[in-house]
Amino acid sequence: MFKTRLLSGILLVIIALATIISGGNVLFSALCLVSFIGMTEIYKILGISGKLLGIAGYLAAGGYYALLLFDKPEWIVMLIIGYLILLMVIYVFAYPNYRSEQVMLAFFGLFYVAFMLSYVYQLRMLKEGAFIV
């Protein structure tokens, strides 16, 4: 058991170092993938992974990463507002299917996973970003 965890930990450190050192699109793609995996895990716990709330979260995360990729930070606030409005519309029209806790955690799941992981990429893209990360 310990040997398996140790080897997988070493492998993950090597992958993390390779993506961080290379930066650019490699790091961006890796963090985007990890964000979607992380959101899937949170949404599975909430029971909304394949449901409308989960799909809205995945779309918002995809939109956020698209805004990062195309360097459009001025649209991030509009994305957040649109995502919140979409969640409220889903909650109202599918009322008995979702609890308010699920909607709240779907909203904050975007920030907890996608936004926070994206800062690794944003820091890495600074002038001395490789050393900061």
pLDDT at 23 over 80: no
What's the CA angle centered on 69, arms 131 and 22, to 5 degrees? Answer: 35
pLDDT of residue 107: 92
Per-residue b or e along 82-93, where b marks 16 or more CB atoms closer than 10 Å to that residue's CB: ebeebbeebbee
Q: Which residue has the tokens 């390779």?
A: 18
Give per-residue pLDDT as tens, 41-90: 999 998 888 889 999 999 999 999 999 999 899 999 999 999 999 999 99
